Each structure stands twice: as structure tokens, then as C-alpha cells.
Amino acid sequence: MADGESTKARILGEARDLYVDSGFARFSLREVARRVGVSAPAVYRHFDSKEALLGEVCAAGFRHFGSYLLRALAEPTPRARLVRSGELYQRFALENPRDYRVIFMGDAEFFLEKNALKGNPDATFQFLIDRVRECMQARVLKKRDETEVATIIWAHVHGLVSLRLSGHLQQVGDDAAFARFHAHSVDRLLAGLAP
């Protein structure tokens, strides 16, 4: 990795952490520069504004998340691909909690209003819609509005993961126990959506 790329990667990492720790209102390029150990103008060489920097932090998080989801395509059946997508969603969140917090628990309104998001978060949601559609075609799920069903599934897995990350599901046990709990819960949800 070239020195400029290394600096950019460090800027993105520190910006993500500062945003998670402090939120948008207290986020500044000057503080990111201090944490990285470079001057503020060095940060501006890579990003025009704090909105551009945060947009790239979010886009990078979505790219990383998307790389997890794509692994589900190796499964042999539509239902297995959908189930694996949910497993990979929770795995991404537990293995990358700071990225998860930025892309799914941060100030989404800011990113949408300011058009700072350079990536396409809809691509990961479209991935879920595609899994739902193929399950409906295979008669694993009842035929309904695909987007509505995908939203129900997303809300379910997101709710479980967000509760886990915020400490509200500690009674479930360690991460392995949570993964089993998550899988059982998703299985029950899918059973309720079956024909």
C-alpha cells in the first residue's frame, strides 16, 4: 500500500471511530488529523469536507458489508441463501461493530440530506429483495410484495443485532449463543412467512 493510500486508510478508520464516539455535531477534520498524526491540510488533500469524509466512511462500510453478503450466494437453495444472508448480517455486525454502527445506527438523515453517501446502500437491500424474490419463486415464502417482506426480515435481523450491540441481549449469552438465538429467531420468522 502506497504511503498516500495508507494515510487515507488511517484517516477513514479514525474518522469512523470519531463519528461513532462523538456523533456528527462534534466531528471535525481537525480532530481526525490530530488522531492520525497529520496536519489538517493533509486530510483536505484526500477529502474536500467533513461530509465527503463521512460519506466515504459510510460507503466503505457498505462495501465491506456487501462483501459479507455475497458469501451467501454459495449456498445451494434459495432458502439457504436467504438464511445465510441473515447469518452473515449478524456476523458482520459482531465482527465489525463500528462499521455497523456507522451504516445502520448512525445519522442516516444526515447522509441522505447532504448527499454525502457516495456508495449505494440500496445495493445491499436489493440483495435481500433478490433473496426474497427467489424464495417466493421457489414457494419457500408466500407470494407478497417483495420489498415489504424484505423490510420485515431486515427489521427483524437488524433489531436483534442492534439490541445485542447495545447490550440489551446479554442474557442470551456469549456471541456463539447469540448466533444460535438469532438463527432460531430468523427460522421462526421465515416459518411465519411461508405459504
Encode pLDDT of 115-148 as tens digits.
Answer: 434 444 478 999 999 999 999 999 999 999 999 9
Q: Do 91 and 186 have their domain in common?
A: yes
Q: What is the pLDDT of residue 34?
A: 93
My answer on whether 88 and 17 are in the same domain is no
- What is the C-alpha to C-alpha distance for residues 108 and 96, in angstroms, rounded to an integer? 18
12 within domain boundaries: yes
For residues 175-193, average pLDDT? 96
Tell whether 97 is covered by a domain. yes
User: Does 104 lie in the same domain as 24?
Assistant: no
Same structural domain, 162 and 123 = yes
The pLDDT-based confidence of 171 (bands split at 50, 70, 90) is very high
Q: Is 106 inside a domain boundary?
A: yes
Q: Residue 103 sits in a domain of what CATH number?
A: 1.10.357.10
Locus of grid cell 448527499: 115
| CB distance 11 to 47 below 8 Å | yes
Residue 95 and residue 31 share a domain: no
Same domain, 61 and 91: yes
CATH of residue 12: 1.10.10.60
**C-beta of residue 160 within 8 angstroms of C-beta of residue 90:** yes
Residue 80 shares a structural domain with residue 26: no
In percent, how much of the chain has pLDDT > 70? Answer: 90
Same-domain check for residues 89 and 30: no
Instruction: Look at residue 147 and tell me if it is in a domain.
Output: yes
- Banded pLDDT at 109 (limits 50, 70, 90): low
3-class SS string, 78-144: HHHHHHHHHHHHHHHHHHCHHHHHHHHHCCHHHHHHCCCCCCCHHHHHHHHHHHHHHHHHCCCCCCC
Residue 73 parent element (H or E): none
Q: What total of structural domains would you count in the chain?
A: 2
Same domain, 67 and 142: yes
169 plus 125 within the same structural domain: yes
Q: Reply yes or no on whether the pLDDT at 61 is more than 50.
A: yes
Residue 159 has pLDDT above 50, yes or no: yes
Flag whether 52 is in a domain. no
Q: Containing domain of residue 136, as a range?
A: 57-193
Is the pLDDT reported for residue 175 higher than 80? yes
Mark whether 42 and 64 lie in a shared domain: no
- If asked whether residues 9 and 105 sit together in one domain, one would say no
pLDDT at 118 (0 to 100): 44
